[in-house]
Amino acid sequence: MELRMTNVTKTFRDVNAVEHVSKTLESGVYGLLGVNGAGKTTLMRMLCTLIRPTGGTITWDGNDIFALGGEYRKMLGYLPQDFGFYPDFTVQDYLYYIAAIKGLRPTTARQRTDRLLEQVGLSKERNQKMKKLSGGMKRRVGIAQAMLNDPRILILDEPTAGLDPGERIRFRNLLSELAQDRIVLLSTHIVSDVEYIANEILLMKDGRIVLSGTSEELTAALLESVWICTAPSEQVGAYLQNYKVANVKTLQGNAQLRIVSPEPPAKDAAADIPTLEDVFLYYFGEKAGEEDVSL
C-alpha cells in the first residue's frame, strides 16, 4: 500500500499550482496544511484522477493511477472542498446512488449506508431532501459518501469546514477510528484538526511541500524560538511590525505577547513550548485559521 508522487507538477496557463511535489504516502493520517491558494485542492484533484499532472507521475504500488483507472478509483474515497450533490435527492437516495457508481452491491450499499449515517449522526435525516440539510449536515453526508466503499485511500479536502466544534471533535474521533489500515489525506487551515490525529503533517506553500514530519518533529524544530513577553500597550504596534506575533493578550495597560523568533524579542522574554500554530506562523508568516473564529 503505497501512493507515490514523483515530481508532480500542475500548471494552469500561467499559474504553477503544484510544483515538483515528491512524497510517498503509506498507511496513516496525513494532514495537509497550507494557506489559501497553496495548491492543496489541486494536488488532491490529481490524486483523485480528476486532473492530470502537467509533469511527474503518481503511482499506486508502482502502477500509474491514470492507467489503473477504475481499479484505482475503486479504492478511493473523496470529499471535494466544493462538495456538490443532487438537491432533490434524499440523503438515502444520494448515498445509494454514490454506492452504485462506486460499484457496491445493493445489500452492501444498504448496510454501509445504515452504519455511516449512524456514525455521522444523520440517521434521523435519511429521508430528508439534501437541499433541506444545514451546511454542516451536508458536509457530514459528504464524509459518509467518501467512506461508502471502505476506501484504502481517503482524500478529504477541508472536511471540517462548516462543522460546529462538537461535530469537529466527533469527526476527529471518527477519523482516528477509521484511519487504521488506510491512507487518509486531509487538508485544512485549522491546525487543531490535524494536531492530534495526523501521523504526519505536510506543510504546503506556493505549490510545494516545504516541510513534513510529525507534530512533535515540527514543533521540536522551534524549541527556543517561541517567547512570551510583556510590553506596554503602546509598543504592541512595533512588535507586530518586527516579529511574527502569534497572540496578543491585554492585561491592565500591558500586553502579553507570544512571539516566534530565533532570538528573544526582549530581555525579559521567556521561552515557551512551541505548538503547531507557532510552526504554521513561522513558515507562512500568517496565522493559521482558527476553529472558533465565529464563536
Partner 1 sequence: MFRYEIKKVFARTGGKVALLLLALALAAGCWMAADTYYVNENGDKEYGAAAAHRLRALQKEWSGTLDEEKLRLAIGEITALAATPQAQSQDVKENNIAFGRGQATYGIRGLLNDAFAVDFQTNDYYRAEHLTPAMAGDFYANRIRLLREWLTDERGNAYYRYSDAEKAYLLRQYETLETPFSYDYTNGWTRLFEWYPWIAMSTVMILGYLVCGIFSGEYQFRADAVFFASRYGRDKAVAAKVQAGLVIVTAVYWAMVGLYSAYVLAYYGADGISCPVQAASSYWKCLYHITIGQMYVLVVTGGYIGCLFISGLVMFLSASCRSAVAAVMTPFVLIFLRSFLEMTDSNVIEKAMGLCPDLLLQMNRTLCLFNLYEPGGKVIGAVPILFALYGALTALLVPTVYKAYRKGRDS
Ligand X SMILES: Nc1ncnc2c1ncn2[C@@H]1O[C@H](COP(=O)(O)OP(=O)(O)OP(=O)(O)O)[C@@H](O)[C@H]1O
* CA–CA distance, 219 with 114 (Å, rounded to integer): 41
When asked if residue 90 is in the footprint of Mg ion (CB under 5 A), the reply is no
Choice from 1, 7, 15, 24 touching ligand X (CB under 6 A): 15
Choice from 33, 38, 184, 259 touching ligand X (CB under 6 A): 38
* CA–CA distance, 58 with 56 (Å, rounded to integer): 7
Q: In the complex with partner 1, which residue's Cβ is closer, 52 or 249?
A: 52
The entry of Mg ion, partner 1, ligand X, none that residue 132 binds, CB within 5 to 8 Å by partner kind: none
Q: In the complex with Mg ion, which residue's Cβ is closer, 38 or 269?
A: 38
Q: How far is the CB of 116 from ligand X (least distance, A)?
A: 25
* Amino acid, single-letter form, for residue 126: R
Choice from 9, 27, 49, 81 touching ligand X (CB under 6 A): 81
Binding window for Mg ion (CB under 5 A); candidates: 78-86, 108-116, 125-133, 244-252: 78-86
> Cβ neighbours of residue 113 under 8 Å, at least 6 residues apart?
92, 95, 96, 99, 126, 144, 148
The entry of Mg ion, partner 1, ligand X, none that residue 223 binds, CB within 5 to 8 Å by partner kind: none
Q: Which residue has the cell 480528476?
A: 50
Cα 137 to Cα 11, 123, 170, 291: the distances in Å are 34, 11, 13, 17
What the block records as the C-alpha cell of 86 is 443532487
Q: In the complex with ligand X, which residue's Cβ is closer, 31 or 39?
A: 39
* CA–CA distance, 43 with 51 (Å, rounded to integer): 9
When asked if residue 100 is in the footprint of partner 1 (CB under 8 A), the reply is yes
Mask: binding to partner 1, 32-71, rule CB under 8 A, as x and -?
-------------x--xxxxx----------------xx-
Over its C-alpha atoms, the chain yields an Rg (Å, rounded) of: 21
